[in-house]
Every structure is written in C-alpha cells, then in structure tokens.
Amino acid sequence: MTRPLSAFTAAGRFWRGNLHTHSTRSDGVLAPEEVCRRYRAEGYDFLALTDHFVGMWGYPIVDTVPFRTEGFTTILGAELHSGAMANGELWHVLAVGLPPDFAPSNSPDFVPRADQETAAQIAERAVAAGAFVAIAHPQWSGLTLADARSVTAAHAVEIYNHGCATGCDRADGFAIADLLLTEGRRLSMIATDDAHFSEPDHFGGWVMVKAERNEPEALLAALKRGDFYSSQGPELRDVRIEGDRVVVESSAVSSVIVQGWGTGAKGVHGHSMTRTEVPLARLLNSPWLRVTVIDAAGKRAWSNPFWREVDGGNPRT
C-alpha cells in the first residue's frame, strides 16, 4: 500500500514561497522592507525572513508583519546557530514560524562555545515553540551523516540552496537526505534562496505549499505535513503510483526521474512531457521514492519523498 502524496490531494491551492532569506538585520545588504517588496514584486505569495540568530546582530527575529499586504504574507523565523559540527564549525539550523520571544542560545558570533546548546537541542526547542525546522545547506556546511542524524527534531533537509549554488557551487543536500530516508527518517525536502542580495542568490529556488489560505498558520501546518513540493521553475501537478509505475503529471518537461534507496533510480526522457509513466522495476524495492522533473532549460522541480510497503523492506534487483 502506498500513501498518496498529500500535496496533490489536500484541499486548497499552491502558494509560492521562500523560506530562507537575509536582510540588513544580519549579513544581508537590503533592509527587511525592501527584501519583502522584491519578493512580492516577483510574484511570491509568502516569505520567511530568517536572519542569523547570533548575538553580534542582537539575536534578530525580524518583525515582518508590517510588510504583509493583500495577497502577500510573511512568516517569522531565523537561522539558528549553536553547537559544533564534526568539522569544528558552527551549526546552521533553519527555523520558520518562531515566536518573537524565542530565547537565544549562547551564540555571540560564529565561533562555537563549549557551553552552547547542541544543534539537536536548539532544534528541539524551535519545534516545541511551533517552528518548521530544516537542516540547512548540508554540502556547504560540510555536514557529515553523523551530524545530520543527531538533529532528530528536524522536519526537513534543505536539498537545494540557490545562494550556495551561485556563491560556491555547493547547493546540494540530496546525499544526506537520501541516506537519512534510507535509515527510516520521514523527512521532507525544501529548496530555498538563502538570499543576501550581495550576488545573484535570489529567486532561484522555492517551495510550492498546498494550503487553503495564504496565512502563516495554514502554511506552517502544510509545511509540517509535507504538503508541498520544491522548484526552480517546473510545476508538479500530481505524483502517484498506478500498479507497477509512478505517474507524474507536470508542466512540460524533458526528463522525469524517480529515485529510491541505494542506486535505485529510473528516468524517462522525451520532449514536452506533461504526463509521464516511470516503471518501478529498477527502484530496488525501495520503501521510499521521490521524483525529479527537468525542463528543456535544465530547471528542476522535486517532490517530497513518499513511502510504500515492500516485500520485507529489503532491496532487490
């Protein structure tokens, strides 16, 4: 039995949003009001301004409520920092939906301190406070699998970070996400900008969230349920299993790829495909599957993982 992806069956419509953004309240170059204006002007429905939650900038959770308008909303958040990764550098944990009075950790700057909370602890606090929490830019951070395993409260992994793509060509989080999925973690996947506006790091990756209202509470609930997909441009309209195939309905694309654990993957390629059937035979009996579509310009969209019952849960060829 396969539980259908609720993003395509839930009530409501898709809303486009960016979950990772910076302003002059930390190391961005634009004021919060201008950041919000630009995302609104570019057709986004919502934005989370997530400035760095460290003491050198006063532990900001920026009040973006005054910048909401008819048709555009904001969600309060921050990029949290506490504890050292295996490489000795400070953790980055994305938290969207924080209360304005979320208590700071002992993180005066970007140097880890021995008496800080761990990343796992600050993530747990953020989730308890109502936030949607994601492990930020694993490749850029140099994150190990052991690092990622430790943050058990996270809802998601940042699988594409546009700022890391344009700034250092380290945009990827799929390796970490796929390994966690294979270990049984029920995680979702987000694409973001991580925009600072100091380079072309904006309007390159976003989430499409299925909710009945473009309001913070409804969007957060949908994010926590996994009712969204991520994109650089293409649209996903349905992803489902029919018999021995995955059926993907989308805007016009040239490749549709279904991935599973280990080396399990199968791609179908063509021209202007809008309904694509991908056979499951090469998916190695994977209990989880996810979908990537690629359009003629090389832009991608990604489904969240979905789960199915398999024969004993063991991979096979």
Residues in the chain: 317
Q: Which of 237, 112, 151, 138 is nearest to 190 (CA)?
A: 138
| Cβ atoms of residues 243 and 205 within 8 Å | no
Q: Which of 292, 295, 303 is nearest to 272 (CA)?
A: 295
Residue 200 CA to chain centroid, in angstroms? 20
Please report where in the chains the tokens 């996810």 appear, as a residue: 290
Token pair, residue 94, equals: 């994305």
Cβ count near 69 (within 10 Å): 11
Over 80: is that where the pLDDT of 3 sits? no
Mean pLDDT of 246-251: 98
The C-alpha angle with vertex 308 and arms to 305 and 309, in degrees rounded to 5, equals 150
Mean pLDDT of 189-201: 98
pLDDT in tens, 32-88: 999 999 999 999 999 999 999 999 999 999 999 999 999 999 999 999 999 999 999
Token pair, residue 173, equals: 């989080």
Domains in the chain, start-ordered, CATH in brackets? 6-231 (3.20.20.140), 236-307 (2.60.40)
Exposure of 281 by Cβ count < 10 A (0-12 exposed, 13-18 middle, 19+ buried)?
exposed
pTM of the entire predicted model = 0.96
pLDDT in tens, 112-161: 999 999 999 999 999 999 999 999 999 999 999 999 999 999 999 999 99
Phi, psi of 38 (to 5 degrees): -65, -40
Please report where in the chains the tokens 């994109």 appear, as a residue: 231
The C-alpha angle with vertex 256 and arms to 253 and 258, in degrees rounded to 5, equals 160
